[in-house]
């Protein structure tokens, strides 16, 4: 049921606000392109920082370089490649080398992915049929959805973060495609939820009653950055579940 002006004074509000990103600190100036590193099994271990390497096609058929980095469950990994040889392909992969996000035929790229807890480390891959050097930086961002200190639950369960009326934040990316929150609403109150994603992402929202698990309201973003909202009125004190699902892109929702 949508809210009108007659009930605006009864709103039990939940507003999602911009996530403040605290990235893990960066170390700079390291060359970790130690051969052989042409497969995920030979990948060089790195941490957050700035690195450079070289693809030596003419001298040793060095067409691919692999690196690996430890990641915690649903921690967001950011890798920024610059100054790569013409026609380079770049990817972030699982520890088995399965590509999760990739770009082709470029000289630079910004890649981001949140890996599930089943991935002990992520692979970073660059390949090209042209020789030349490249640079890349690596950053990691722990999640703090709903000020919970971690990623929100991917399902509506008792472990989902409990949030109150006010301002909260969240982040969706990669394997982390859905965030669920719990909200306790007093009797004879409206709950109104407004979610605005970053301009490069599109989300859906759904509002459920815990007692029945029935959907009470839902909304779908049509375009990137579209604001979505849901609301309901309860005569009895109820616990609601709020689910926010990524449909396109990645990033913070407001």
Cα–Cα dist 96/213, whole Å: 37
Cα–Cα dist 16/19, whole Å: 9
At residue 28 the predicted structure's pLDDT band, cuts being 50, 70 and 90, is very low
Backbone angles phi, psi at 41, to 5 degrees: -70, -20
Q: What is the pLDDT of residue 117?
A: 85
Q: What is the pLDDT of residue 1?
A: 36
Cα–Cα dist 62/60, whole Å: 5
Q: Which of 141, 170, 198 is the last residue of a domain?
A: 141
Q: Which of 96, 118, 141 is the last residue of a domain?
A: 141
Say yes or no to pLDDT of 189 above 50.
yes
Q: What is the pLDDT of residue 58?
A: 63
Q: Which of 141, 169, 190 is the last residue of a domain?
A: 141
Q: What is the pLDDT of residues 64-111, one digit of tens each?
A: 999 999 999 899 999 999 999 999 999 999 999 999 999 999 999 999
Percent with pLDDT over 90 in the chain:
76
Q: What is the largest CA-CA distance in the chain?
A: 76
Say yes or no to pLDDT of 60 above 90.
no
CATH number where 73 lies: 2.60.120.380
Q: What is the pTM of this model?
A: 0.82
- Mapped onto helix, strand or coil, the DSSP state of residue 8 is helix
β-pairing, 166-168 with 11-16?
parallel
64 and 133 both lie in a single domain = yes
* Helix, strand, coil share of the chain (percent; to 5): 5, 50, 45
127 and 219 both lie in a single domain = no
């Amino acid at each position: 049921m949508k809210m009108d002006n007659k009930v605006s004074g009864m709103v039990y509000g939940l507003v999602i606000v911009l996530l403040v990103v605290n990235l893990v600190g960066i170390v700079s100036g390291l060359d970790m392109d130690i051969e052989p590193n042409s497969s995920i099994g030979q990948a060089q271990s790195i941490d957050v920082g700035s690195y450079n390497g070289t693809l030596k096609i003419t001298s040793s058929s060095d067409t691919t370089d692999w690196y690996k980095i430890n990641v915690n469950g649903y921690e967001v990994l950011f890798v920024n490649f610059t100054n790569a040889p013409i026609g380079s392909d770049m990817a972030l992969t699982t520890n088995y080398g399965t590509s999760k996000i990739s770009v082709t035929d470029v000289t630079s790229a910004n890649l981001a992915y949140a890996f599930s807890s089943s991935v002990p480390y992520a692979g970073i891959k660059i390949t090209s049929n042209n020789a030349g050097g490249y640079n890349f930086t690596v950053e990691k961002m722990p999640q703090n959805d709903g000020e919970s200190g971690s990623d929100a639950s991917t399902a509506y369960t008792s472990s989902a973060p409990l949030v109150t009326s006010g301002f909260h934040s969240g982040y969706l990316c990669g394997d982390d495609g859905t965030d669920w929150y719990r909200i306790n609403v007093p009797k004879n109150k409206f709950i109104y939820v407004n979610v605005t994603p970053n301009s490069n992402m599109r989300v859906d929202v759904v509002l459920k009653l815990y007692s029945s698990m029935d959907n009470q309201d839902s909304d779908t973003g049509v375009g990137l950055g579209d604001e979505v909202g849901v609301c309901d009125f309860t005569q009895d004190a109820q616990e609601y579940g709020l689910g926010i699902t990524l449909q396109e892109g990645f990033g913070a929702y407001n």
